[in-house]
Amino acid sequence: MRAEVREATVAELVEAAAELASGPQRAILGITGPPGAGKSTLGGQIVEALGPDRAVLVPMDGFHLADAVLAAHGLRDVKGAIHTFDAAGYAALVERIRHQRLGETVYAPHFDRTLEEPIAGSIEVRPEVPLVVTEGNYLLADDGAWPRVRACLTECWFLDPPPDVRRERLVARHVAFGKDPDAARAWALGTDEANAALIAATADRADRVFRLAEE
């Protein structure tokens, strides 16, 4: 049964994340939801509010397959679909972060939206930071390597904005990164929408389902 959708402000979610960061052991907070839900924005707001000594953001998008690999497999036109990520690599990283030892620094990749490519070794995860926030579309998927990710998460939150708001955000994002408006809308209503349907079916595995309220 899917968890009840409740409204929460960013301030309330920052406070909830701060509680996780105050625990006796490292916490890993997952933030998931469909494309355009606001996952990366919320993750960034939480980390900024808590500061670099208490939280670090490790996005799933760093495990996008490179465009050359996608092109070689005929997947360039569905970039962002679940099978266009290195799920096993992402799971291994989250497991390493979960069991990180004192004195060991983990370096994670991030995704450069200007280049549309992952950049290896660009996020420093220090062992003394108590909260790692990881966000992405498929944190609650139940096949392949994805359940290994869920097993490492202290909590996983699902963001569920109104569909029309989410779609308009996606169109604006695609235009901002180089698509013409017609192509941007076609991608948002095609590839992105297919991914959103798959992701919506995973919401019942979340600890909490939120819709962001105005502050």
215 token code pair: 């502050």
Which tens digit of pLDDT belongs to each residue from 8-42? 999 999 999 999 999 999 999 999 999 888 999 99
Model pTM score: 0.91
DSSP-assigned letters across all residues of 155-185: EEEEE---HHHHHHHHHHHHHHTT--HHHHH
Looking up residue 197, the CATH number of its domain turns out to be 3.40.50.300
Where in the chain does DSSP place strands (E)?
A: 5-8, 27-32, 55-57, 106-112, 117-125, 131-135, 155-159, 208-212
Span 36-53, average pLDDT = 95
Which tens digit of pLDDT belongs to each residue from 168-199? 887 888 788 778 888 888 777 778 888 888 99
Split into its structural domains, the chain has a count of: 1
What is the C-alpha separation between 154 and 25, in angstroms, rounded?
A: 10
Q: What domain range includes position 100?
A: 5-212
